[in-house]
Structure 1
């Protein structure tokens, strides 16, 4: 993770005295709300419309919602003393066990169905 970005997020929150509101519960709810806003960027669009959005680089609204999710995710990890990089690496190891290449290559089934 880019510490410079994480430091900027933390500084932004501290400058506004928002740490008092950044409980794990509140941050989890905020992440869910932002995911809903991300989904709205795609709601009712056809695959062609989404491809056109990508081709014309009209992705700012999507980028903004992803940034909001990332910001809250960083804050949630910080509030729960979770190292995000370590958590991702650990989860990738678990997923590697659940989804061995020889069973999951080109397959979208859940690991319980492989």
Structure 2
């Protein structure tokens, strides 16, 4: 599988087969997504920057990070499906907006936030 739309269909079918659609409100999905992001953060929390950069080489931590990223992706895809948002389009629009706000000249090498 390689596309967001294919994954969206799989996640939708998974929820439908279990009659979970009634629980998949935007609020509930956003809360579940936040919880899964927290679990991903917990896997990386005490690592040094160097350790976090090579976490996938760790035979114990790597698979856990991958699994948590899978959970985050599933909930984000499901939330987008329920809200009727095309994730690729939303991300592309956001990148275009960020490119206008964070020009190469103004932002190169800086992590400073640029206000609107």
One fold, TM greater than 0.5? Answer: yes
Shift of 1:48: 4.0
Structure 2 gap segments, 5+ residues each: none
Return the alpha-carbon distance in structure 1 between the equivalents of residues 53 and 104 of structure 2: 29
Name the counterpart of 2:31.
29
Structure 1 gap segments, 5+ residues each: none
Following superposition of structure 1 onto structure 2, how do residues 33-112 of structure 1 map, counting pairs within 5 Å?
Answer: 33-56=35-58, 58-112=61-115
Name the counterpart of 1:16.
18
Moved over 4 A (4+): none
- Out of 7, 10, 35, the residue aligned to residue 9 of structure 2 is 7
What is the aligned length? 113
Return the alpha-carbon distance in structure 2 between the equivalents of residues 56 and 86 of structure 1: 34
8 Å CA contact retained: 2:30, 2:79? yes
CA RMSD of aligned residues (A): 1.9
After superposing the two structures, state which structure 1 stretch, 97-106 or 39-48, moved more: 39-48
Return the alpha-carbon distance in structure 2 between the equivalents of residues 87 and 49 of structure 1: 32
Return the alpha-carbon distance in structure 1 between the equivalents of residues 90 and 54 of structure 2: 35
8 Å CA contact retained: 2:56, 2:63? no
Return the alpha-carbon distance in structure 1 between the equivalents of residues 17 and 76 of structure 2: 19
